[in-house]
Amino acid sequence: MKILVNSIITLSNGEKYMILNETTYDNARYFLVMGIDDQGEIISSKVAIFKEEVENDEVYVVRVRDSKLIIELTKLLKSQM
């Protein structure tokens, strides 16, 4: 399954996120996401960047926590908006 901008993904813990933007950095795909509640309303305080991981044809996302990488990705994502 390919992750697309403006789609909603649900993590294994049940949290839902809207994909706002995507970029490629160092041969990996990254997504700017914003949390959404059970009613589909955006949670503006719940913003994150996820990295796409592909394993055995399954697509997963992992939250980016490296602050230097977040700064670089934020610059890229902002320039694309």
Residue 60 burial by Cβ neighbours in a 10 Å radius (0-12, 13-18, 19+): middle
Asked if 66 and 74 count as a contact pair (C-beta separation under 8 A), the reply is no
Residue 16 burial by Cβ neighbours in a 10 Å radius (0-12, 13-18, 19+): middle
Res. 51: pLDDT tops 70: yes
- 53-75: per-residue pLDDT in tens? 999 988 999 999 999 999 999 99
- 4-31: per-residue pLDDT in tens? 999 999 999 999 999 999 999 999 999 9
